[in-house]
Amino acid sequence: MHQNHAGMASNMVDPGLLDKIDKLFACGVGDTIPLPQLVVVGDQSSGKSSVLEGITKLPFPRDSGLCTRFATQITFRRAQVTSTVVTVIPHKGATQGYADKLRAWKSVTNAILEPVSFSKTMQEVHKLMGLADTPADGDGKSTFSEDILKVEVSGPEQEHFSVVDVPGIFRTATKGMTTLADAAMVKSMVHRYMINPRSVMLVVIPANVDIATQEILTLAEEADPDGHRTLGVLTKPDLVDPGAEIGVMQLIKGEKHPLNLGWCIVRNLGQQQIQDVAADRSAVEKAFFRDRAPWNELDQDRVGVDALRIRLQEVLASNIRREFPNVKREVLHKLSTAKRALKELGDQRQTPDEQRRFAMDIASRFREIVSLALNGNYSGNSWFDNEPDLMFVTRVVNRNEVFANDIEKCGHTYGFKFDYSSAENVKQDVMSTGGQGIQLRTIKDHVDLEDLITGDRRIDDKIYGNIIDWLSELYKGSRGFELGTFDKNLLSRTMNAQSVKWEPLAHGYILDVIHMAHGFVATLLRHVCPTARVRDGIMSVLMEPLLETYRRALEQVQFVLRVEKNNPQTINHYFNDNLEKSRQKRLRASLEKQATVHPSPFGVAGVSRSMIALDDIVQNHPMSNAEHVVYEVHDILKAYYKVARKRFVDNVCMQAADYLLVTGPNNPLKLFSPQFVSSLTDDQLEEIAGEDAGLRRRRIALAKEVNDMEGGKKILAGVS
C-alpha cells in the first residue's frame, strides 16, 4: 500500500495492538484462544486472489498451479526501513522435529517483494512444507498444508494492517491437480477460520453468478448468523449480463441480503490486462466505476479496491479495539486453567527417580490419613465425613461387639440348665430360635478377595434344650469302671460339640474385618491417587503382601480354635467360682423339700430362715450315681464354657483382628508406605508410576499451552 488516504490516520489500527495480536499468533496463543483477524474467503474462481493482491499491493505468483495452498497471514507496519520478512508458523498438531524445521526457516529482504522473488520464496515454502506440485507426483506428498505462511511488510509509507488469506473452496476434483479429499480438507480449514468469533470475514463472490448458489456465503451465514462480522465483496462486475445489474445494485445498497458490515464491489484486471505490465489496476478500476452505468451511480465508499482497503482498516481497527480486553482476560483464564490441570497431573515421571518421588508423595499422603484413622482423629480430614470406609477403627469396634454378642447368645449348641429344683429334665427339642438363622457376614465381598471367601453367610441359630439327656447319652457311651467319676475325654467331647458354632462365627467375623481393612486401603488410594492407572498399579504390587496378611489373620483364628478345642483347661479362678456356685444351687435344690422355716433367732419381725437337720443332709441321696456324674459334667461344662467363651472372643479379637489387621506393626493399612516404595524395583515403579502415551501427550499439550499463555501474558503486559 503505497498511497495515503484522507481520514486514514484516525481509523488505522493502533500499531501497538496490531503488533501484540501478531505476536500472540506467532507464539501459539491463536491455537487455543480466538484472536481478532481479517480473513479473506471465497471460491477458487471468485477473484479472491486478485482482490487480495489489490488490497496488499503484493504480486502473488500465478505460476504455482493453485492460487493458495495454505493460509497466508500478511501484516503491514510503518517503519523507517523497508523490509519483507517471510516465516512459517507450524500447525497445531505438528511434530516437534517438523515444527522446529519450519521455525528455523526465514526469508528476509530489504525491499518490497517483486513477482520473481515472491515466486521463488513460495517455491521454497512449498518444498519446506513437503507439498507436491500435483497429486500425480505420486510421492505421497500433500497438496495443501495446515501450516501458516507469515509475510511481514515494513516501510515508511505502510499503514498498519493485517489480513489472512485462506485457500479457496472447491467442490469437484481436477485431474492431476486436486482430489475430493483435498476439497474436504480445504473446506474444513476455511470453516475453522470462519467460526472464530473474533474474525471479520471478507467474503468474495463473483457478481455474475446467482448469489443464492454460493456455498461460501452459506458457510458465512452459518458461522455468523447475525451478519455482524461479515463484509461482502463482489467481483467481476464487467462480466454481469445486461439487465442483471439491478440485482447486484440492490445488494450493494443493502436492499437485498443485507449485511451488518455491508457490501463493496471491485473490478479486477482481466487476464489480458494482467499480462500487460504497464496496466494500472487503480486507473482501470476508477475509469470503470466512473464511466460505466449503472455502476457509476453507487456511493464511492463502496466501489473500488482503494475504498475497500479503507473500509477494511476501519472494521479491523474497531474489531481489535473491542475484542482486545476480552483476549487479555481469556489468556489469563486459560493460563490459570492449564497450570491447574498440569499441576493435577503431578510431577513428570519419565525416569525411575521421578517415578519414585511421585510414588513416595502418594505413600506419604496415604500414611498421614492412616495415622488419623488409627487414632480415631476423624476431624483431621474432611474425607472421613463422606467415606464411612475410612472410619476403620470405629467399624472394627462395632463389629467386635456384634461378634461377642453372637457368640454369647447363639454360640452354644445346648442351653445350660439353671433350674435344679427338679431332677427330671424338661424334654424340649428347641429351647431358643430366632427362626432366620445367624448372619455370619455383614460386609459386602470385595472382588479382589474372592479367593479368601469360603463358607456360608448364615447358619442355623437353633439352641437345643435337652442338655441333660444329651450329656446322659454321651456319658453312657463313654463310661468305664470309674467309680463316681467320668472319662477325662468327656469334657473335651462335650466342649467341642457345645462350641461347634464358634468356627463359622469367628470365620465370618475375621472375613468382615479383612474386608473392612481392604475397603479402607482401596478407598483411601482412590482419594490420594485419583489416576486409575496409577492406583491399579499400586494395588497390583500391594495385593500379594495384603493377601499374605489376610491369610495370617485367618490362620490365627484357626490356631485359636484348635487350642480351645484340643485340650480344655484354665487357671482362671472364675471357673472354680462358677462351678462352686452351680454345685451349691444343685445341692440347695435337692435339700429344699426337707427344709423347715423358722423365725429369725434374733427376733426380727417378718424375717424367717430355711433350716434343715444335719442328719437329713447326710442322708440326702436325691440322685443315682450316674445322674450325679451327668450333673457334675453339666456344671463343669457350664463353668468352663463361660470362661472359655470370653477367652476365645478376646483372643480372636486381639490376636487375629487387632494385632494382625488393625494396630500391629505389619497391619495392611501400614503396608503402603515410603519404605515400601523404596523397596520397589525400577520395573515395578514403571508399572505403578510410569506415564502412558495418553498422559504424556496430555502433559506435553498442557505444558505447551502454559508456555504459549505465559508468552501471551508477557506480550499483553508489554514484555518482549
Which of 73, 86, 78 lies closest to 37 in space, CA to CA? 73
Tally the domains of the chain: 2
SS3 of residue 481 by DSSP:
coil
pLDDT of 596 reads 67
pLDDT of 668 reads 96
Q: Are residues 329 and 428 in the same domain?
A: no
DSSP at 302: G
- 563: amino acid identity, one letter: V
Q: Are residues 575 and 662 in the same domain?
A: yes
* Per-residue three-class SS string for 26-70: HCCHHHCCCCCEEEEEEECCCCHHHHHHHHHCCCCCCCCCCCCCC
User: pLDDT: is 402 or 48 the higher one?
Assistant: 402
First to last CA, the chain: 28
Other C-beta atoms lying within 10 Å of the C-beta of residue 199: 23
Q: What is the mean pLDDT of residues 623-650?
A: 84
**Does residue 613 fall inside a structural domain?**
no
Q: Are residues 371 and 313 in the same domain?
A: no
Helices (H) and strands (E) counted in the chain, each on its own, are 24, 13
Distance CA 447, CA 453 (A): 10
Long-range contacts of 696-700 (CB under 8 A, 24+ apart): 698/345, 699/342, 699/345, 699/348
User: pLDDT: is 463 or 11 the higher one?
Assistant: 463
Exposure class string for 302-341: b at 16+ Cβ within 10 A, else e = bbbbbbbbbbbbbbbbebbeebbeebbebbeebbeebeee
- DSSP readout, 532-556? HHHHHHHHHHHHHHHHHHHHHHHHH
**Is pLDDT of 203 > 90?**
yes
pLDDT of 593 reads 65
**Does residue 106 fall inside a structural domain?**
yes
**Is pLDDT of 135 > 90?**
no
Q: Which of 276, 306, 341 corresponds to the end of one domain?
A: 341
Helix axes 489-498, 532-566, angle to 10 degrees: 140
**Is pLDDT of 442 > 80?**
yes
Q: Are residues 211 and 292 in the same domain?
A: yes
Q: Is the distance from CB of 41 to CB of 190 less than 8 angstroms? A: yes
**Does residue 705 fall inside a structural domain?**
no
SS3 of residue 687 by DSSP:
helix
pLDDT of 1 reads 36
The grid coordinates of residue 5 equal: 488516504
**Does residue 707 fall inside a structural domain?**
no
Least confident of 27-31, 99-103, 487-491: 487-491
For residue 108, the cross-strand partners are: 85
**Is pLDDT of 333 > 80?**
yes
**Is pLDDT of 592 > 70?**
no
Q: Is the distance from CB of 591 to CB of 620 less than 8 angstroms? A: yes
Residues 6+ apart with CB under 8 A from 596: 610, 611, 612
Which of 405, 411, 401 lies closest to 657 in space, CA to CA? 401
**Does residue 616 fall inside a structural domain?**
no
Give backbone dihedrals phi and psi of 16, rounded to 5 degrees, phi first.
-65, -45
| Per-residue pLDDT tens digits for 410-439 | 999 998 876 555 544 444 444 555 567 888
Residues 6+ apart with CB under 8 A from 572: 643, 647
DSSP at 254: T
Q: Are residues 337 and 364 in the same domain?
A: no
Other C-beta atoms lying within 10 Å of the C-beta of residue 694: 9
Q: Are residues 93 and 20 in the same domain?
A: yes
CATH of residue 260: 3.40.50.300
The grid coordinates of residue 105 equal: 526457516
Distance CA 42, CA 159 (A): 25
Q: Are residues 72 and 139 in the same domain?
A: yes
Least confident of 217-231, 240-254, 270-284: 270-284
Residues 6+ apart with CB under 8 A from 608: 597, 598, 599, 600
Q: Are residues 105 and 166 in the same domain?
A: yes
SS3 of residue 138 by DSSP:
coil
Residues 340, 341, 347, 351, Cα dihedral to 10°: -160
Domain housing 634: 359-588+626-690
**Does residue 617 fall inside a structural domain?**
no
Distance CA 645, CA 561 (A): 11
Phi-psi domain of 28 (left: phi exceeds 0; alpha: psi -120 through 50; beta: other): left
Helix (H) or strand (E) segment spanning residue 77: strand 71-78
**Does residue 15 fall inside a structural domain?**
yes
Distance CA 361, CA 310 (A): 61
Helix (H) or strand (E) segment spanning residue 567: none
pLDDT of 430 reads 47
Least confident of 32-36, 174-178, 203-207, 603-607: 603-607
Give backbone dihedrals phi and psi of 142, rounded to 5 degrees, phi first.
-85, 160
| Per-residue pLDDT tens digits for 274-330 | 555 556 778 888 999 998 889 999 899 899 999 998 898 888 888 888 888 888 899
The grid coordinates of residue 553 equal: 489373620
598 falls in which pLDDT band (50, 70, 90)? low
SS3 content of the chain, % helix, strand, coil (to 5): 55, 10, 35
pLDDT of 2 reads 37
pLDDT of 403 reads 96
| Per-residue pLDDT tens digits for 378-387 | 998 999 999 9
Residues 6+ apart with CB under 8 A from 719: none
pLDDT of 64 reads 45
Q: Is the distance from CB of 159 to CB of 1 less than 8 angstroms? A: yes
**Does residue 323 fall inside a structural domain?**
yes
Distance CA 414, CA 301 (A): 111
The grid coordinates of residue 690 equal: 510410569
The grid coordinates of residue 610 equal: 430355711
DSSP at 689: H
Q: Are residues 318 and 384 in the same domain?
A: no
Distance CA 629, CA 485 (A): 6
pLDDT of 66 reads 43
| Per-residue pLDDT tens digits for 28-70 | 888 788 888 889 999 888 888 888 888 888 877 655 444 578 8
Q: Are residues 314 and 379 in the same domain?
A: no
Residues 6+ apart with CB under 8 A from 519: 389, 443, 446
Q: Are residues 306 and 369 in the same domain?
A: no
For residue 223, the cross-strand partners are: none
Q: Are residues 115 and 263 in the same domain?
A: yes
**Is pLDDT of 607 > 70?**
no
For residue 4, the cross-strand partners are: none
